[in-house]
Amino acid sequence: MRALFNFNFRRMYATYPRLAVVATAYDGERKTALSLVWHTPLSFDPPVYSVSVAPKRFSHDVILRARTFAVHFFPYERAKIVELIGSTSGREVDKFKEFGIKHFMSNLQNPVIEGAYLVLDCEYLDHRLVGDHTLIWGEVKTVYYDPERVELGEDGGLRLRNISPTLYVGDGIYATVSGESLERLRKS
Ligand X SMILES: Cc1cc2nc3c(=O)[nH]c(=O)nc-3n(C[C@H](O)[C@H](O)[C@H](O)COP(=O)(O)O)c2cc1C
Residue numbers of the site for ligand X (CB under 6 A)?
Answer: 20, 32, 34-38, 52-54, 57-59, 82-83, 86-91, 168
Q: Strand, coil or helix: what is 114?
A: coil
Cα–Cα distance for residue pair 27/90, rounded to 1 Å: 13
Residue 185 CB contacts under 8 Å (≥ 6 apart), including other chains: none
Cα–Cα distance for residue pair 26/113, rounded to 1 Å: 13
Nearest position to ligand X, beta carbon: 86
Cα–Cα distance for residue pair 59/68, rounded to 1 Å: 12
Q: Which is nearer to ligand X, 91 or 161 (CB)?
A: 91
Yes or no: say if 23 and 51 are a contact pair by the CB < 8 Å rule. yes
Q: Which is nearer to ligand X, 120 or 148 (CB)?
A: 120
Q: Return the C-alpha torsion angle 14, 19, 25, 30, nearest 10.
A: 60
Closest CB 117 distance from ligand X, rounded Å: 17
**Residue 1 forms beta bridges with which residues?**
none
Q: Which is nearer to ligand X, 87 or 188 (CB)?
A: 87
Closest CB 32 distance from ligand X, rounded Å: 6
Closest CB 106 distance from ligand X, rounded Å: 19
Backbone angles phi, psi at 132, to 5 degrees: -100, 15
Q: Which is nearer to ligand X, 20 or 112 (CB)?
A: 20
Closest CB 36 distance from ligand X, rounded Å: 4
Q: Which is nearer to ligand X, 51 or 119 (CB)?
A: 51
Yes or no: say if 24 and 70 are a contact pair by the CB < 8 Å rule. yes
Closest CB 163 distance from ligand X, rounded Å: 19
